[in-house]
Amino acid sequence: MGNDVLRNLRKDFLVEFRSRFALNVSASFAAIVTIAISLTAGGVPFSPKVQAIVLWIVIFFSAMNGLSHIFVREEDQGTALFLRTAVNVDSVFVSKFIFNQAFMAVILAVVTPLYLFFLQVQVLHVAHFIFSVAAGGVSIAAATTILAAMVAKAGGKGSLFTIISFPILLPVLWISISSTSAALNAPSPTGGNLLFLLAFSGFISVISFLLFRFVWLED
């Protein structure tokens, strides 16, 4: 299984690196939205709560633009059938899961500095801020892996991914927003929210792992 996962991951990274399509779309989307908000606000700084909401809305929609690509590409290029027959279902899930986490990390690495730069955000607790963003990103990537597989099976229809992800990611967004806004201005933010995010991502990963075979395999 380990070898399969590594081989799959290597292939996924190579294919993605060759075209950089998903990454380009997500990063450009994030940049455009952040700049648009900053431009239209005319340099007026928002309150910390609004800043946190804006950050997570941008992250959520950037992620929605790119995260389904990993499975949609397999179905589009017709490689899904090969992958289904040649590679064990669990290793497919694990490799795609890791790829999505890496992809999400890259998106966060693009979005967060842009956001800090353009929206005049002053972070009070830097470590807590970084951990909040990272934990929220991990949860989003963990929950959307199986959803991406479902969307790919449904024909990769663009907005469907957002629609089906939203109810499941709502708790993540809520908690990430409150955690981020605490990092921006609370006197002493606590780690309870981060713990919730990690628990959620662990839980949803396990459930996705168990359910993945029903989504991926065909009769």
Partner 1 sequence: MKIISAAVKSVYILMPAAIVMAFLWAPPAQVLGDSSRIMYFHVPIAWVSILAFVVAGIVSILFLADRKGSFVMFDGIAYNSAVAGLVFTVLTVITGSIWARISWGVFWNWDPRETSIVIILLIYIAYFSIQGAMAHNDNRGRIGSAYLILAMITLPFFAFLVPRIYPSLHPDPIINADRTIFLDDRMRSTLAVAIASFTALYCYILHIMNRMMKLQNHIEETSHEAD
- Nearer to partner 1 among residue 123 and residue 211 (C-beta): 211
Alpha helix (H) residue ranges in the chain: 2-19, 21-41, 48-66, 69-76, 80-86, 89-118, 126-153, 158-185, 192-216
Distance of CA 156 to the CA centre of its chain: 17
- Nearer to partner 1 among residue 118 and residue 209 (C-beta): 209
Q: Which 3 state secondary structure label does DSSP give 154?
A: coil
- Nearer to partner 1 among residue 117 and residue 174 (C-beta): 174
Q: Least separation, in Å, of the C-beta of 84 and partner 1?
A: 12
Binding segment for partner 1 (CB under 8 A), chosen from 20-28, 84-92, 95-103, 202-210, is 202-210
Residue 82 near partner 1 by CB under 8 A: no
- Nearer to partner 1 among residue 35 and residue 199 (C-beta): 199
Window 119-158: residues binding partner 1 (CB under 8 A): 146-147, 150, 153-155, 157
Residue type, 102: A
Q: How far is CA 211 from CA 1, 2, 38, 89, 152, in A?
A: 18, 20, 41, 11, 15
- Under 8 Å between Cβ of 179 and 43: no
121 phi/psi in degrees, rounded to 5 = -90, 135
Residues recorded for the chain: 219
Q: Least separation, in Å, of the C-beta of 140 and partner 1?
A: 13
Q: Least separation, in Å, of the C-beta of 98 and partner 1?
A: 20
Q: Least separation, in Å, of the C-beta of 115 and partner 1?
A: 23
Window 157-196: residues binding partner 1 (CB under 8 A): 157, 160, 163-164, 166-168, 170-171, 174-175, 178, 196
115/108 Cα distance (integer angstroms): 10
Distance of CA 191 to the CA centre of its chain: 21
Binding segment for partner 1 (CB under 8 A), chosen from 73-81, 107-115, 182-190, 211-219, is 211-219
Q: Which two tokens stand for residue 158?
A: 């663009």
Dihedral in degrees, nearest 10, Cα atoms 170, 70, 28, 180: 30
Q: Least separation, in Å, of the C-beta of 174 and partner 1?
A: 6
Question: Where on the chain is the footprint of partner 1 (CB under 8 A)?
Answer: 146-147, 150, 153-155, 157, 160, 163-164, 166-168, 170-171, 174-175, 178, 196, 200, 203-204, 207-208, 211, 214-215, 218-219
